[in-house]
Amino acid sequence: MDFPSPSQPTSPQPVPPQPVQPQPVQIPVQSHPGAMGTDEQVYTMPEKFIPATQAAAVPTKRPKKMVTIILIVVIVLAVLGIIGGVLFYVLRMMNDEPVVTDAQNAVVVNTNNANTVANVNVNENDNVNVNENANENENVNEDTNENVNANANDNINAVVNENANTNANTNTATTEVPVPGKDTDEDSLTNDEEKIWGTKADLPDSDSDGYTDGVEILAGYDPTNATSAGRLADNAALVGTFANDDYNYTVLYPTDWLAEALAEGDNSEVLLTPNTLDLAGQYIAITVIENPTGFTAVDWYVDTANVDEADLITFITFAGATGVWSTDGTTAYLANTDYIYAVSYRYGSSTELFFPTSFEMVAKSLTLTEPKKRQNSNDNTNAANANEAES
């Protein structure tokens, strides 16, 4: 189909060409696409009549390829960046922690060499640190041992000296004494002592004289004799008398006990010992001590035990002499100008005292006597003097 050519200008002046508006092409529409008949024709506008803007708007395939390539590059770089970040994190964690978990080994498959080198470096550093610490420990041990030894020696000496002083004071002042044995009738005689004196364990006043048995024993009276004149020393069935001529004293003791010197030929210490198994392990000792200063019993004990006189308890013997008890009550002291006489209750490791009232009676019965004259010596001296006179 031929299109008419544009009209020419009638003016002699040149006029710029005007764009020709394209005419729409009529394209037959088929009711069934792809089933075009052979006798139908399609027409299009010649290229010279198509505007330039319309031709530039037609897309081509080349720009699409460039965009696709750029996107692929960006995606690849992003993936590589993620992988690199993961690898960096894993390697850093492996260097910080000596133990690599299974998850880290599974991720870092291609960096075994790097892990090995890192482990080697860590091991070398650990060895260096351990050696340095060992050297420091050796130095510390040497210094510590020297200091401890020096301090220990000083402290031990100080403690020993203090204990020695403390023990001396403790033995004198704070000795714990066992309690008296069972006293059924509460007459101040234990049940064991009731057997010694022949009194009744269930009757406080065996002779019914108005005085309990213990009170009579401590006063020097016979608890089995109701008469007022019944002195304990007069009943040979109950008491015996031990006379120590070497040190000038006499003392009463139960007749069924044994009275003898601790060492043969030396009467400076005499033991009064029960001869029954029930009282075994306890006895009374009488010890004689030199008294060069002539102290009284009280003055001697204050000076020797370093105690306050106001804290002491004194007693009067049956003979009227004044004695003093030790602070624990287990020793009685008497004195003359020559000797100190100590009467002691020896109870060993017993937990109770079998005869405390009998012990006190023995202490009060101690009587100091005058020294006996040596008749044989005087006779010999007189004879010697007579011979000298005759010559």
**What pLDDT sits at residue 120?**
42
Indicate whether 331 belongs to any domain: yes
- Residue 202 has a pLDDT of 95
Alpha carbon separation from 291 to 41, 43, 299 (Å, rounded): 168, 165, 11
Q: Is residue 49 part of a domain?
A: no
The pLDDT value recorded for residue 314 is 98
For residues 14-43, one letter each, b for 16 or more C-beta atoms within 10 angstroms of the residue's C-beta and e for the rest, the string is eeeeeeeeeeeeeeeeeeeeeeeeeeeeee
The tens digit of pLDDT for each residue in 75-104 reads 999 999 999 888 888 888 877 655 444 444
End residue of a domain, out of 51, 77, 107:
107
Is 186 in the same domain as 299? yes
Same domain, 99 and 191: no
CA distance 342 to 247: 12
Mean pLDDT, residues 284-303 taken together: 97
Is residue 203 one of the residues assigned to a domain? yes
Whether residues 293 and 195 fall in one domain? yes
Same domain, 69 and 201: no
- For the chain, the domain total comes to 2
Local confidence band at 119 (pLDDT 50, 70, 90 cut-offs)? very low
Mean pLDDT value of segment 41-45: 59
Residues 93 and 190 placed together within one structural domain of the fold:
no
Residues 74 and 192 in one domain: no
- Range from 138-142, 174-178, 227-231, 386-390 carrying the lowest mean pLDDT: 138-142
Span 244-259, average pLDDT = 97
Give the pLDDT of residue 117: 40
pLDDT digits (tens, 9 = 90+) for 153-197: 454 444 444 444 444 444 444 568 899 999 999 999 999 999 999
Compute the chain's Rg from CA coordinates: 66
Of residues 37 and 254, more confidently modeled: 254
Is residue 388 over pLDDT 50? Answer: yes
Whether the CB-CB separation of 289 and 339 falls below 8 Å is answered with yes
Higher pLDDT, 263 or 173: 263
pLDDT, position 50:
59
Residue 254: inside a domain: yes
Quick one: pLDDT at residue 91?
Answer: 85
Same domain, yes or no: 215 and 339: yes
CA–CA–CA angle 271, 174, 305 (5° rounding): 70
Q: Return the number of other C-beta atoms located less than 10 Å from residue 260's C-beta.
A: 12
Q: What is the mean pLDDT of residues 276-304?
A: 94
Q: Which is more confidently placed, 29 or 367? A: 367
Examine residue 160 and state whether it is found in any structural domain, yes or no: no
pLDDT tens column, 303-323: 999 999 999 999 999 999 999
Domain-embedded: residue 348: yes
Residues 341 and 194 in one domain: yes
Residue 109 scores a pLDDT above 90: no
Averaged pLDDT for residues 339-365:
97
Does residue 92 fall inside a structural domain? yes
Overall pTM surpassing 0.85 (yes/no): no
303 domain residue, yes or no: yes
Quote the domain boundaries for residue 83.
63-107
Q: End of a domain among 54, 84, 107?
A: 107
Q: pLDDT class for 295, splitting at 50, 70, 90?
A: very high
**Euclidean distance between CA atoms 320 and 34, whole angstroms:** 163
pLDDT of residue 110: 44
161-184 burial: b if 16+ Cβ within 10 Å, else e: eeeeeeeeeeebeeeeebebbebe
- Per-residue pLDDT, averaged over 31-35, amounts to 48
CATH assignment of the domain containing 316: 3.40.1000.10
Is 101 in the same domain as 187?
no
For residue 280, the model assigns a pLDDT of 81
My answer on whether 95 and 231 are in the same domain is no
